[in-house]
Chain A
Amino acid sequence: MQAVTREEALELYEDMILGRNFEDMCAQMYYRGKMFGFVHLYNGQEAVSTGFIKQLNQPDCVVSTYRDHVHALSKGVPARAVMAELFGKATGCCRGQGGSMHMFSEPHNLLGGFAFIGEGIPVATGAAFAAKYRHEVLKQSSPDGLDVTLAFFGDGTCNNGQFFECLNMAQLWKLPIIFVVENNLWAIGMSHLRSTSDPEIWKKGPAFGMPGVHVDGMDVLKVREVAKEAIDRARRGEGPTLVECETYRFRGHSLADPDELRRPDEKSHYAARDPITSLKKYIIEQNLASEAELKNIEKKIDDVVEEAVEFADASPLPPRSQLLENVFADPKGFGIGPDGKYRCEDPKFTQGTAQV
């Protein structure tokens, strides 16, 4: 295990606490009627998000699924922007138009937030393709190497066609992408073992010619080590890696899931491996920080999450006039005129019956 500095350890700790507290607050807010629809919480899986995303730079991209709040937070999207989005307010990161399953942030290179499993993986592959294209065609190079893209998805997605198609293309063109499988053993109520002929997902990497790695996804330091190696590989242009993280979600699939199928002994097994508790223990045993310092971090995060709720509460709902904006790239008008330039505005464009 490579050593982790005090700063790094505290950064990891703070990020995981943020993820956990935020999600707990989401549950509270949902049951209080401030948040609606399908909300999928990440409790228990924080080590994967923190372990990977904290290794990234700003130009690197993250693509996620519907379980995306914590990926957004790890990538740097402010908690208030995510909370406001969840409340459906105009100040949300997507102006209230996306919701829980569609978190996007262009400045943080968070490319979504996708509701259908697997449909984000090709988008991530495209972002990685663009990184390679920028380097080879546009001759835009950075001293760090290629910009890297992380695609997060679950065990259920690994039986989906898009997964396999993208493993093939990514390896074929040596794209700077890492396929991060958050194997929490369950796809709603479908156990991974009941739906998958060969449940060892990491093995599917070498089948396509790329390294396949299995890691304990409840241990942020182990995840971090694997992540670092995969990211460095990608930056050097050596191509993709498939990383299977063994992890667990402490809550149900979504807030609407009664979570009756999973056995109590399975849940308690993983609860004992809570990544936050493990890291806390490690930090204290290795004398990287004191309990009091960690408590301070927890207090600080409490405040951040409280503030996020206050901000979201105080924010306005989107006005009716916002309904038809952003359907097209040019929010008010559209199209190219005979002179090759954009035409004048037509507010009826998004109604599909514009008078040109």
Chain B
Amino acid sequence: LPASELTKYCLTFLGHEVLMFEALREAMIEEMTLDPTVCMIGEDVGDYGGSYKVSKGLSEMFGDLRVLDTPIAENSFTGMGIGAAMKGLRPVVEGMNMGFLLLAYNQISNNCGMLPYTSGGQFKIPIVIRGPGGVGRQLGAEHSQRLESYFQSIPGIQMVACSTPYNAKGLLKAAIRSDNPVVLFEHVLLYNLKEKIPDEEYICCLEEAEMVRPGSQLTILTYSRMRYHVMQAVKTLVNKGYDPEVIDIRSLKPFDLHTIGNSIKKTHRVLIVEECMRTGGIGASLRSAIIDNFWDELDARPVCLSSQDVPTPYAATLEDATVVQPAQIVAAVEEICQS
């Protein structure tokens, strides 16, 4: 691929405003234009333009074979993407909802994760698996899942979560260019976020965390939608005189322990805010990694705020109670800072 002139992370004075789904779409168009082996596979990605409009217009631009509308057969079309990747293509497989990819678990775990290894390095699988997950607005339990916690143990895959139009575009481009299988987690509620992004081409590093708000008092680690609950809580906290450092970890596997570690060495206190359930989530693994690596730096127990271990209920009041809300984040910060 031609090395593009890449960018400074600050937004340029020019630039254009996009919604999150448009940013993802731009990434797809740019990469599919640059590299004819990049293609898209998924349900309703072609004629329908994608359930969340990420591939709107793409099949007209690139044709029916490059933007492939599949029958409803997640396991098989994900496996098809894997076979195609082994034979030189760079597919982007869309799960209409990440939850549907539970049906593709066989292929994602056994083939995506394992084939480069069991083949002794003979085959690589440059596939991107992306789609929206997370708790939405009363979508019901099955459409509100957090697949990142189920996939995280699979050796051989990389996982990233985007949270802004800027990092969505940058991460998707990087994921497509990576020779590793990358799972990109989008969030159902974030597709209409608006942001100004650079006109010039840019890429985000897949393994790097994003500094959202530098601070000195404690480190808040979060990702995806919870970033916004955290920032809402931060407004309240700042008014109360606190100075939290907020990091969007972005890379769910592997963790960017360099950025995270530097922060902990500065603040000595950690709060993790995640949308995964309490048991076995990303937060659980992250807390474990922090204790392993930065125990001596900690002045307080690392706290992890997670969702309740319940299937997400339909009723709004109950649904609100399953995920972490800003008020809980404020309370947790206050408690950590006072201990």
Query: Interface on A for B, CB 8 Å cutoff?
Result: 61, 63, 92-99, 102, 104-106, 111-116, 119, 121-134, 136-138, 161-162, 165-166, 168-169, 172-173, 325-331, 334-341, 343, 349-356
Contacts and interface: CB of A to CB of B under 8 A. Distances in A.
A111 B121 contact: no
B121 A326 contact: yes
- Specify the main secondary structure of chain B where it touches its partner: loop
B119 A102 contact: yes
A343 B179 CA distance: 12
Interface in B268-287: none
Contact of B207 (A106, A115, A335): A335
- Specify the main secondary structure of chain A where it touches its partner: loop
Nearest to A92: B120
Nearest to A161: B75
Contacts of A134: 88
B223 to A, nearest CB: 16
Contacts of B107: 119, 122
B1 A328 contact: no
Given A329-B124, A335-B207, A94 B73 contact: no
Contacts of B1: 340
A355 B118 CA distance: 26
Contacts of A339: 3, 6, 203
Given A112-B119, A172-B71, 14 more contacts: A95-B120, A102-B119, A104-B119, A122-B107, A169-B77, A326-B119, A335-B205, A338-B204, A340-B4, A340-B6, A349-B254, A355-B258, A356-B208, A356-B257
10 pairs of A and B residues whose beta carbons are closest in the complex: A126-B83, A122-B79, A95-B120, A104-B119, A329-B179, A94-B120, A165-B76, A326-B121, A123-B83, A130-B87
Given A329-B126, A340-B203, A356 B63 contact: no
Given A122-B83, A336-B203, A327 B117 contact: yes
Given A97-B120, A169-B71, A326-B117, A126 B79 contact: yes
Contact of B39 (A97, A105, A133, A341): A133
Interface centre among A94, A99, A165, A328 (most CB of B within 10 A): A328
A354 B83 contact: no
Contacts of A126: 79-87
B216 interface: no
Nearest to B41: A129
6 contacts: A116-B106, A119-B79, A168-B71, A326-B121, A338-B7, A354-B254
